[in-house]
């Protein structure tokens, strides 16, 4: 067929594919991110409220931790998911500031929206934001205070940073109790790598929050026990501890293999051989002189009774991470065979005991010679309360860790944001063109943190922001919102301290997220495919929300 000069229609995308592009698409993405920001705003700061989230299984979570809330919200908008990602990244990298980074990113997008509506290219805005964040980061590095040479006790400095991290948390009323626990936990780790994964947290419902315990060593819940367990001693001083990855259980022959026998004597010989094998293993363990035997695999009733008769304590089916932390604390190594166990393979500690905590029994290893690990036993009235205590302590522990590694700090309570905002405003007056407006917009966006702190506390945000602007223009660089006097004050002098790393990371992450959203001007969403046969999975790449975003 001759088409003449007509160009044939070429179908590239499947019928029903949704494609939207242009300025309207960018503004739509910004609106989605601002909706996420609005949801998180009320949780910021010491007087921020908590959010109750109920998932599809009717499980409730009460939290004001930004990363936790965003993780539990089922965000389907592809652009808004960017905020979820930066919040998680902030949580993993620094541990705190997860709400701040999301609010900042949302505010940067909100400030960019009028420029887009006036026809300014998104690339011009992105260029201005990149320049602004470079200047902001340099300013924070310039004004931050190095506390490594401070005459004060190093521990006090860490406690102040931990207390600031707890101001917005559920545990703030018990801050003095938990601050000590956090600092003890971080200082008990190896000073070279400060691996926070070696801080174990166990949640025990019941009791008050201040009944929580810090164990300088390892604690884990009593494992499954067989008959004979109660006859074992439950307390030792300076015991020898053997850690195994060996099953000490007498198994029925039918579970292991099929054996054909012609007479009863042959069958009895097989049973005797089974008994002999496990008895040999138990005697080899006894000959090591170990007082405590721990194993990842089951320790059966025969072995339990054998150990009880010889005043040896045993625990089988110990969780893998608990056993590994125990070995790091007490020394020795995990053995996968009972033959050739030497003295150096055994660990020790000053005191081992099994105690009752709430409704559970716990095995405690304290006074460990190689203690590079610790355990926090958290108590509380309800499971949701304990879960929020755990999240709060995680944030505070990460802050103490960062403060120990990087001894550069700034004042919190919106002080550093106001100082950087003032600096960027003054800088914007020295340049001409559109960049002046964009850098000024970045400076205005930073004020969202002190403004939201005031609003959440029920204070007059307009009045306090004016006071802060005046104070910073006079050189009071550490002036921020003071919740005690419901006014403004020098937050550095009041020890409202945060690691500079938290602020730098939050600013960079928020700007990257804003620029990423601004750079996407087309979204293509594949139509959800219907499988040809019921029960078949749709082809890869199909599904609502899966899409291609291109610049």
- 65 catalytic? Reply is yes
Instruction: Specify whether 237 is located in the same domain as 352.
Output: yes
Instruction: Specify whether 198 is located in the same domain as 67.
Output: no
pLDDT (average), residues 219-229:
83
pLDDT (average), residues 394-421:
86
Count of beta carbons in the 10 Å neighbourhood of residue 34? 18
Least confident stretch, 351-360, 453-462, 523-532: 523-532
**H-run or E-run covering 485:** none
Q: What is the pLDDT of residues 82-113, one digit of tens each?
A: 888 888 888 887 777 788 899 999 999 999 99
Instruction: Specify whether 305 is located in the same domain as 401.
Output: no
**H-run or E-run covering 169:** none
**Mean per-residue pLDDT of the chain:** 82
Instruction: Specify whether 365 is located in the same domain as 381.
Output: no
Q: Would you say residue 533 lies in a domain?
A: no
pLDDT (average), residues 197-218:
85
Using CA atoms, how far apart are residues 291 and 312, in angstroms rounded to an integer? 5
CATH value at residue 200: 3.30.260.10
Domain count, the chain: 3
Instruction: Specify whether 248 is located in the same domain as 388.
Output: no
CATH value at residue 294: 3.50.7.10
- 98 catalytic? Reply is yes
Q: What is the pLDDT of residue 546?
A: 32
Q: What is the pLDDT of residue 332?
A: 85
Using CA atoms, how far apart are residues 9 and 20, in angstroms rounded to an integer? 20
Buried b (16+ CB within 10 A) or exposed e, 135-161: bbbebbeebbeebeeeeeeeeebbbbb
Instruction: Specify whether 31 is located in the same domain as 140.
Output: yes
Q: Nearest CA to 104 among 133, 61, 79?
A: 133
Does residue 326 carry a pLDDT above 70?
yes
pLDDT (average), residues 61-78:
83
Q: What is the pLDDT of residue 139?
A: 93
Q: What is the pLDDT of residue 405?
A: 80
Least confident stretch, 90-104, 159-173, 242-256, 351-365: 242-256
Q: Of these residues, 50, 65, 91, 322, which one is catalytic?
A: 65
Q: What is the pLDDT of residue 465?
A: 93
Q: Domain of 455?
A: 21-146+411-519
Q: Would you say residue 80 lies in a domain?
A: yes
Instruction: Specify whether 438 is located in the same domain as 506.
Output: yes
Q: Of these residues, 395, 482, 511, 521, which one is catalytic?
A: 395
Q: Of these residues, 61, 82, 99, 511, which one is catalytic?
A: 99
Q: What is the pLDDT of residue 462?
A: 92
- 99 catalytic? Reply is yes
550 falls in which pLDDT band (50, 70, 90)? very low
- 196 catalytic? Reply is no
Between 270 and 216, the higher pLDDT residue:
216
CATH value at residue 50: 1.10.560.10
pLDDT (average), residues 288-314:
89
Instruction: Specify whether 224 is located in the same domain as 106.
Output: no
Instruction: Specify whether 73 is located in the same domain as 51.
Output: yes
186 falls in which pLDDT band (50, 70, 90)? confident
Q: Would you say residue 3 lies in a domain?
A: no
Q: What is the pLDDT of residue 66?
A: 81
Q: What is the pLDDT of residue 192?
A: 72
Contacts for 305 with CB less than 8 Å, ≥ 6 apart: 226, 227, 228, 231
Count of beta carbons in the 10 Å neighbourhood of residue 7? 6
- Among residues 319, 351, 370, the one where a domain terminates is 370
Between 9 and 2, the higher pLDDT residue:
9
507 falls in which pLDDT band (50, 70, 90)? very high
226 falls in which pLDDT band (50, 70, 90)? confident
Least confident stretch, 30-34, 230-234, 260-264, 541-545: 541-545
Least confident stretch, 173-182, 314-323, 366-375: 366-375
Instruction: Specify whether 449 is located in the same domain as 384.
Output: no
Q: Of these residues, 98, 164, 338, 348, which one is catalytic?
A: 98
Instruction: Specify whether 142 is located in the same domain as 31.
Output: yes
Q: How far apart are the first and last CA of the chain?
A: 38
Instruction: Specify whether 37 is located in the same domain as 141.
Output: yes
């Amino acid at each position: 067929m001759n088409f003449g000069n007509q160009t044939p229609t070429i179908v590239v995308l499947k019928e029903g594919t949704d494609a939207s592009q242009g300025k309207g698409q960018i503004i739509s993405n910004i609106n989605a991110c601002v909706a996420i920001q609005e949801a998180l705003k009320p949780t910021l700061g010491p007087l921020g409220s908590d959010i109750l989230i109920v998932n599809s299984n009717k499980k409730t979570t009460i939290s004001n931790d930004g990363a936790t809330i965003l993780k539990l919200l089922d965000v389907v908008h592809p652009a808004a998911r960017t905020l979820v990602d930066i919040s998680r990244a902030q949580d993993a990298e620094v541990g705190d500031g997860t709400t701040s980074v999301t609010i900042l990113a949302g505010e940067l997008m909100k400030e960019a929206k009028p420029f887009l509506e006036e026809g300014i290219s998104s690339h011009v805005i992105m260029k201005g934001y990149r320049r602004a964040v470079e200047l902001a980061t340099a300013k924070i590095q310039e004004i931050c205070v190095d506390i490594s040479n401070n005459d004060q006790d190093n521990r006090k400095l860490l406690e102040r940073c931990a207390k600031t991290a707890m101001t917005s948390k559920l545990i703030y009323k018990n801050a003095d109790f938990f601050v000590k626990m956090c600092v003890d936990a971080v200082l008990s780790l190896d000073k070279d790598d400060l691996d926070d994964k070696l801080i174990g947290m166990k949640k025990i419902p019941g009791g008050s929050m201040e009944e929580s315990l810090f164990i300088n060593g390892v604690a884990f819940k009593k494992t499954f026990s067989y008959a004979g367990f109660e006859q074992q001693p439950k307390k030792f001083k300076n015991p020898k501890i053997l850690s195994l990855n060996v099953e000490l259980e007498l198994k029925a022959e039918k579970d292991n293999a099929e054996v054909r026998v012609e007479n009863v004597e042959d069958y009895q010989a097989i049973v005797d051989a089974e008994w002999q094998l496990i008895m040999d293993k138990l005697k080899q363990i006894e000959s090591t002189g170990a007082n405590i035997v721990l194993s990842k695999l089951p320790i059966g009733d025969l072995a339990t009774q054998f150990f009880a008769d010889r005043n040896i304590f045993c625990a089988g089916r110990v969780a893998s991470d608990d056993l590994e932390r125990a070995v790091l604390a007490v020394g020795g190594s995990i053995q996968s065979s009972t033959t050739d166990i030497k003295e150096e393979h055994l660990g020790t500690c000053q005191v081992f005991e099994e105690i009752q905590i709430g409704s559970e029994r716990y095995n405690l290893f304290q006074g460990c010679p190689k203690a590079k690990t610790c355990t926090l036993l958290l108590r509380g009235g309800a499971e949701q309360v304990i879960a929020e205590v755990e999240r709060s302590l995680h944030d505070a522990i990460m802050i103490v860790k960062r403060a120990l590694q990087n001894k550069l700090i700034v004042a919190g309570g919106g002080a550093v944001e106001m100082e950087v905002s003032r600096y960027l405003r003054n800088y914007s007056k020295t340049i001409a063109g559109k960049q002046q407006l964009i850098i000024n917009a970045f400076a205005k966006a930073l004020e969202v943190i002190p403004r939201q702190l005031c609003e959440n506390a029920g204070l007059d945000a307009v009045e306090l922001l004016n006071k802060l602007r005046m104070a910073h223009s006079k050189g009071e660089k550490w002036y921020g919102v003071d919740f005690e006097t419901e006014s403004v004050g020098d937050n550095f002098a009041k020890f409202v301290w945060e690691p500079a790393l938290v602020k730098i990371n939050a600013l960079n992450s928020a700007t990257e997220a804003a620029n990423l959203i601004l750079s996407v001007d087309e979204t293509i969403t594949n139509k959800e495919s219907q499988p040809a046969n019921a029960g078949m999975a749709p082809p890869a790449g199909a599904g609502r929300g899966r899409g291609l975003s291109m610049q």
